[in-house]
């Protein structure tokens, strides 16, 4: 028990909310350390938490400080991950190695989900999921987010997956892995920057209460070991211009070949290309997405925890 | 507990048999709602249950009625799923969403296995397993049946997988996922309509008692989280004529390209093509398969539960 | 309990060490029965155990004798698996079927890991892992070792994977499945016969104590359901000559096409080709690898169990 205390530290406010069965929303820190440029990243990280509070839930941004997993980073810790050099991106498989190295680290969709579920947090807000890479038929490059979501019973609010991935293959993997996917107000899977990512969904929900009812059914059935993904599209008025998106994507994919970019360099290359070529519009859309997802996640957590009453520890 | 009662309802006869450690055979409802044409589907569904009884076990057809998972549908419920419009096909990931929508639904191999194992049912009879689709190298289309069988300790009696899938790739996935496959009276994996699906098996058993001994060893070792697939081929005298089969399959695959059929439309297209072109012979074979599998499943359940004595709740 | 006793038998010395929280190293038997030629195989099997003892841990070679899984084969049993005909190679999915058949069998990386973890053994030494086969994009041939490591919390010391596999794809699968990979004294993934297998690693450790600290962090975090792979390269002075390796590999792959070798015949064909064409040098390297891994595994187990104190049963 002493070891566990040291391995994972939960901020008092978050621990109290979990214990009381009150709504909590987990948040990842990779978007803070790696996903957004400085210094906006810290401002946005604080706004995300504020949005969660405004919608009635306690925010719990998760990260690693000096080898300790912290659930509910305080402002000094958030600032540290937003500004320090050498913050490592940590998937689930990295958590213990990083802990032994007393590292500072940011948690991905996979590791945030795993840590949150382990502590009994039921809802998690992020931007987009990792997925199957476009060349995965040859490279086998598939994000551990998918496998982890296939093993982690938590509700994840996102805006689909970025079009730089193989969206169709990602949806197939989610199906194969038993991850439930429900569109929020839509039967089309959102494409992150785009309202419509080009693929149909089997299920849709139109309110936080409906999603809370699904979560209650999951708990009652006790058959779901995988995540529930809530796919929350941007309204069309706020998406990236689809014509611009397609042009920039085509250019970016061509650039990969021209500049011989492969492996882990692909995603940062394409995102930087989007950022430059859209003159920051892709970044603004990215921020909008995460704020909207944080709001919806808080609403879902509130609906679920109000309806369900305090959850058993 | 109250929530669980509402989420899953077990027919008294089935619950009593499970509690007493008596033989029960789980049955899926997708074959009733989607797999067989009306009105034969209801007749066949009843015959399947009758065959299970004749071989000493209690049948438990599983489905969803008005959002409640029912283990052991009664005749009115079976009739409803066989005749109503709008019965949804539900894999594991759909179960809670459908429950919240108060849907009527039919369970697949994956969801039937998961529900049955959750209630302590040890044997399940079906026709053929889902598998890796022929174009999965590009599309990633692989049935959630495979992943679920990799996580669900239950014995599934089937006649292999249909040749419209990539049978070799499906067998590889079963191996990768740790699913045990034992031929019943054969070392060749059956091809559903065909006695011999074209691939070797490592293991074979020749009696229900042998299979019950394997199940007992699984329980004693406590190392198997995956399913045990019993591959039960049709006798050669009852299979679809192999020459006709190959001709119809080749035609059907060509038809996919000609008619530009992709994704979820592929399987129904090919099955309808088989049905038409064989003038119903493929359907008759399909019915024969499920009846034979139900009989073998009941014999295995009887052998296992007799040998093992009442199982612990 | 009586069934479990019969299903798995643990040698007294091993059981006592586990109960006392003393260091134990699990060892596989496939290398004895199938991986090395006779009669050296038995000599090597004994030397491996001796090396584990010399480094302070109790060796527990795992195998199946007459249907019983034995954890800690005695010398007569080891001799039997090294010399008898008809010893079957058993992955996890084969264990119960083989037990019911009262078979003699050798355990793979997958089944050795699963059995060892089930008994509370924390460290396992092997040669190389199974992986993604070179033609898996078409055939789907991926070793169950990978999936099992994704589900089994144990530390596995190996020298990477053989170059006859698709090493890059194997590393991607390990990442997707959440398996931690740490280089021992290197940030390059070893290529079994070769010190450097051609791919980077994210993490490295330089002492058994560091690896023990990672294991302690895994236990404290309680988030890791997958294995920790310690990739222990041969020193450059002991590797197979890289120029010879590349030549022999190229020849061997060409031979597969020429001789029309496919499926399960590929690996034995290529290994025999390496053995012949290197005039036994590949075999000598193989033996060196397993002895070095056994020594490191014993050191890690000793560091971990000394630091952690007796583990809870
Ligand atoms: Mn990747
Ligand atoms: Mn599919
Ligand atoms: Mn294989």
A143-156 pLDDT per residue, tens: 999 999 999 999 99
| pLDDT higher than threshold 80 for residue C142 | yes
For residues A122 and A154, the answer to whether their CB atoms sit within 8 Å is yes
Q: Are strands C188-191 and C194-200 parallel, antiparallel or unpaired?
A: antiparallel
Provide the percentage of residues in chain B whose pLDDT is more than 90.
92
Residue C39: asked if its preceding bond is cis (omega within 30°), the reply is yes
Mean pLDDT of A225-235: 98
Chain C hits for A139, Cβ within 8 Å: 168-169, 172
Q: pLDDT tens digits for A233-287?
A: 999 999 999 999 999 999 999 999 999 998 888 888 998 999 999 999 999 999 9
Q: Quick one: pLDDT at residue A267?
A: 86
Contact B175 C144 (CB under 8 A): yes
The whole-chain average pLDDT of chain C stands at 94
Q: Which of C263, C236, C244 is nearest to C163 (CA)?
A: C244
Q: Quick one: pLDDT at residue C307?
A: 72
Tokens of C181: 């990979």
Mean pLDDT of B129-152: 96
Instruction: Tell me, in angstroms, the distance from the centre of ligand 3 to residue B24's CA.
Output: 34
Best B97, B131, B146 residue to mutate vs chain A (most A CBs within 10 Å): B97
CA closest to A202 among chain B residues: B94
> From the CA of A108, which ligand is nearest?
1
Q: Which residue has the tokens 């086969």?
A: C133
Mean pLDDT of C16-33: 97
Q: pLDDT tens digits for B32-79?
A: 999 999 999 999 999 999 999 999 999 999 999 999 999 999 999 999
Cα B297 from chain centre: 11
Q: pLDDT tens digits for C65-119?
A: 999 999 999 999 999 999 999 999 999 999 999 999 999 999 999 999 999 999 9
Q: Which of A137, A225, A245, A144 is nearest to A180 (CA)?
A: A225
Give A154 to chain B, closest Cα distance, Å.
13
Element (H, E) at A153: none
Q: What is the C-alpha separation between A61 and A29, in angstroms, rounded? A: 6
State whether residue B1 is helix, strand or coil: coil
Instruction: Tell me, in angstroms, the distance from the centre of ligand 3 to residue C241's CA.
Output: 28
Please list the active-site residues of A: 28, 162
Q: Quick one: pLDDT at residue C264?
A: 82
Q: Known binder of ligand: residue B89?
A: yes
Instruction: Tell me, in angstroms, the distance from the centre of ligand 2 to residue A153's CA.
Output: 22
What is the pTM (predicted TM-score) of this model? 0.96
Quickly state the pLDDT bin for B262 (edges 50, 70, 90). Answer: confident
Instruction: Tell me, in angstroms, the distance from the centre of ligand 2 to residue A198's CA.
Output: 17
Best A9, A96, A117, A265 residue to mutate vs chain C (most C CBs within 10 Å): A96
Q: Known binder of ligand: residue B144?
A: yes
Q: Known binder of ligand: residue B29?
A: no
Alpha helices in chain B (DSSP H): 2-7, 12-20, 30, 40-54, 75-83, 95-100, 109-119, 136-139, 144-149, 167-176, 208-221, 242-258, 266-277, 281-308
For residues A3 and C220, the answer to whether their CB atoms sit within 8 Å is yes
| pLDDT higher than threshold 90 for residue A309 | no
- Ion ligand 1: residue ranges with CB closer than 5 A: A 141
Q: What is the C-alpha separation between A35 and A49, in angstroms, rounded? A: 16
Q: Quick one: pLDDT at residue A52?
A: 98
Q: What is the DSSP letter of B265?
A: G
Quickly state the pLDDT bin for A1 (edges 50, 70, 90). Answer: very low
The subunits that touch chain A, with at least 3 C-beta pairs less than 8 Å apart, are B, C
B28 catalytic? Reply is: yes
Q: pLDDT tens digits for B113-130?
A: 999 999 999 999 999 999
Chain C hits for B137, Cβ within 8 Å: 137-138
- Which residues contact residue C156 at a Cβ distance below 8 angstroms, ignoring those fewer than 6 apart? C109, C113, C124, C125, C126, C129, C149, C227, C228, C229, C230
Residues of chain A contacting C, Cβ within 8 Å:
3-4, 6-8, 67, 69, 91-97, 99-100, 110-111, 114-115, 118, 137-144, 146-148, 151
A25 beta partners: A59, A123
The whole-chain average pLDDT of chain B stands at 94
Residue C12: asked if its preceding bond is cis (omega within 30°), the reply is no
Q: Quick one: pLDDT at residue B267?
A: 86
Tokens of B52: 């299970």
Q: Quick one: pLDDT at residue B308?
A: 61
Tokens of C194: 């070769």
Quickly state the pLDDT bin for B309 (edges 50, 70, 90). Answer: low
Element (H, E) at B59: strand B58-65
Give C129 to chain B, closest Cα distance, Å.
14
Contact B180 C143 (CB under 8 A): no
How many Cβ atoms sit within 10 Å of the Cβ of residue A85? 5
- HEC per residue, chain C: CHHHHHHEEECHHHHHHHHHCCCEEEECCHHHHHHCCCCHHHHHHHHHHHHHHHCCCEEEEEEEECCEEEECCCHHHHHHHHHCCCCEEECHHHHHHHHHCCCCEEECHHHHHHHHHHHCCCEEECCCCCCEECCHHHHCCECHHHHHHCCCCCEEEECECCCCECHHHHHHHHHHCCCEEEEECCCEEEECCEEEEEEECCEEECCHHHHHHHHHHHHHHCCCCCCEEEECCCCHHHCCCHHHHHHHHHHHHHHHHHCCCCHHHHHHHHHHHHHHHCCCHHHHHHHHHHHHHHHHHHHHHHHHHHHHCCCCC
Tally DSSP H helices, then E strands, for chain A. 14, 13
Give C5 to chain B, closest Cα distance, Å.
8
* Cα C258 to Cα C60, C95, C184, distances in angstroms: 42, 36, 39
Q: Which of A143, A107, A145, A109 is nearest to A127 (CA)?
A: A109
| pLDDT higher than threshold 80 for residue B108 | yes
Residues of chain C contacting A, Cβ within 8 Å:
132, 137, 150, 166, 168-169, 172-173, 175-182, 202-203, 210, 213-226, 228
Q: What is the C-alpha separation between A213 and A192, in angstroms, rounded? A: 26
Give C139 to chain B, closest Cα distance, Å.
6
Q: What is the DSSP letter of B116?
A: H
Q: Which residue has the tokens 């579920």?
A: A117
Query: Of residues C49, C77, C142, C162, which has the active-site annotation?
Result: C162
Q: Quick one: pLDDT at residue B307?
A: 72
* Cα A279 to Cα A270, A275, A284, A290, distances in angstroms: 14, 6, 10, 19
Quickly state the pLDDT bin for C309 (edges 50, 70, 90). Answer: low
C54 catalytic? Reply is: no
Q: Burial, A260: exposed, middle or buried (Cβ in 10 Å; 0-12, 13-18, 19+)? A: exposed
| Closest by Cβ to B222, choosing from C4, C67, C93 | C4
For residues C214 and A100, the answer to whether their CB atoms sit within 8 Å is yes
Q: What are phi and psi of C245, to 5 degrees?
A: -55, -50
Mean pLDDT of A58-75: 98
Mean pLDDT of C186-202: 97
Q: pLDDT tens digits for A107-125?
A: 999 999 999 999 999 999 9
Mean pLDDT of A196-221: 97
Q: Known binder of ligand: residue C167?
A: no
Q: Quick one: pLDDT at residue A15?
A: 98
Instruction: Tell me, in angstroms, the distance from the centre of ligand 1 to residue A122's CA.
Output: 26
| pLDDT higher than threshold 60 for residue A312 | no
Best C97, C118, C131 residue to mutate vs chain B (most B CBs within 10 Å): C97
Chain A hits for B100, Cβ within 8 Å: 210, 213-214, 216-217
Mean pLDDT of B5-11: 88
How many Cβ atoms sit within 10 Å of the Cβ of residue B12? 9
Give B203 to chain C, closest Cα distance, Å.
8
ipTM for the whole complex: 0.95
Q: Which of B10, B30, B55, B31 is nearest to B297 (CA)?
A: B55
- Which residues contact residue A242 at a Cβ distance below 8 angstroms, ignoring those fewer than 6 apart? A194
Q: pLDDT tens digits for A33-57?
A: 999 999 999 999 999 999 999 999 9
Q: Which residue has the tokens 């060796």?
A: C59
How many Cβ atoms sit within 10 Å of the Cβ of residue A47? 15
Q: Burial, B34: exposed, middle or buried (Cβ in 10 Å; 0-12, 13-18, 19+)? A: middle
Provide the percentage of residues in chain C whose pLDDT is more than 70.
96
Mean pLDDT of C107-132: 97
Q: What is the DSSP letter of B94?
A: G
Mean pLDDT of A120-131: 97
Q: Show binding-site residues of A.
A: 89, 109, 141, 143-145
* Cα A304 to Cα A122, A191, B93, distances in angstroms: 9, 27, 19
Instruction: Tell me, in angstroms, the distance from the centre of ligand 3 to residue C94's CA.
Output: 13
Mean pLDDT of B272-297: 95
What is the torsional sign of CA B157, B159, B164, B165? positive
Higher model confidence: residue B312 or residue A174?
A174
């Amino acid at each position: 028990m002493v070891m566990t205390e040291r391995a994972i530290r939960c901020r008092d406010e978050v621990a109290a909310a979990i214990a009381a069965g009150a709504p909590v929303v987990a948040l990842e820190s990779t978007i803070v350390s790696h996903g957004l440029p400085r210094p906006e990243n810290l401002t946005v990280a604080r706004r995300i938490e504020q949005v969660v509070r405004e919608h009635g839930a306690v925010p719990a941004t998760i990260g690693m400080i000096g080898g300790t997993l912290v659930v509910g980073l305080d402002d000094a810790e958030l600032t540290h991950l937003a500004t320090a050099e050498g913050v490592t991106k940590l998937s689930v498989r990295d958590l213990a190695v990083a802990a032994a190295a007393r590292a500072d680290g940011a948690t991905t969709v996979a590791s945030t989900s795993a840590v949150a579920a382990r502590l009994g947090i039921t809802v998690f807000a992020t931007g987009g999921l990792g997925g199957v890479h476009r060349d995965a038929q040859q490279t086998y490059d598939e994000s551990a987010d998918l496998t982890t979501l296939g093993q982690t019973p938590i509700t994840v609010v996102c805006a689909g997956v970025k079009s730089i991935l193989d969206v169709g293959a990602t949806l197939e993997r989610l199906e194969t892995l038993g991850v439930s996917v429900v569109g929020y107000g839509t039967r089309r899977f959102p494409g992150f920057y785009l309202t419509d990512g080009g693929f149909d969904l089997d299920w849709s929900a139109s309110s936080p209460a409906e999603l809370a009812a699904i979560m209650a059914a999951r708990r009652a059935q006790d058959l779901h070991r995988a995540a529930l993904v809530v796919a929350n599209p941007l309204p069309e008025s706020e998406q990236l211009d689809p014509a611009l998106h397609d042009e920039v994507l085509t250019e970016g994919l061509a650039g990969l070949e021209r500049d011989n970019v492969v492996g882990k360099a692909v995603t940062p290359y394409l995102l930087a290309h989007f950022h430059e070529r859209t003159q920051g519009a892709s970044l603004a859309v990215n921020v909008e997405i995460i704020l909207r997802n944080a709001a919806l996640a808080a609403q879902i957590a509130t609906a679920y925890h109000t309806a369900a009453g305090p959850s058993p520890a």
